[in-house]
Amino acid sequence: MATLKDISNLEDIKLMVNTFYDNVRKDDLLGPIFNDKLQDRWAEHLEKMYGFWQTILFDVRAYSGSPFPPHKQLPVDKSHFDRWIEIFNTTIDTIFSGPITEEAKMRATNMAFMFNHKIEYFRNAENELRNASGKS
């Protein structure tokens, strides 16, 4: 069995991102949500993800912005984030191995946890506001 190399450059990040999102698009749970949200803007999304992961893994300032707001209104819950992590880890483990690969998996897991937590927080706050104002 060939030894997998670690993520070490932009080409590796592109391979990771493209392979991961190819798998997401085919997934029964996540595919419809991503495809509905992105529609014909997949190329733009993938470019953003290349920059995001360069910034996260290589400290290259290739991404600016806030990653959370576009996700805030998505129809997702913990099961979606669990599936996202499962696909991410399975995908990345088939292509790469090493400390930066492990860092990517840890960062992705932390991000999924944080996004899920924040989405639940905002939903609960919105529900409390609606209930407090007498609307249901």
Question: pLDDT tens digits for 31-68?
Answer: 999 999 888 899 999 999 999 999 999 988 766 666 66
Is the Cβ–Cβ distance between 57 and 100 less than 8 Å?
Answer: yes
Q: How far is CA 115 from CA 58, 107, 133, in A?
A: 22, 12, 27
- Which pTM value belongs to this model? 0.84
Is the Cβ–Cβ distance between 76 and 119 less than 8 Å?
Answer: yes
Distance, CA of 7 to chain centre: 17
Quote the tokens at residue 47: 């470019």
Per-residue pLDDT at 76 exceeds 90: no
Instruction: Give exposure, 52-68, as e/b (b: 16+ Cβ within 10 Å).
Output: bbbebbeeeebbeeeee
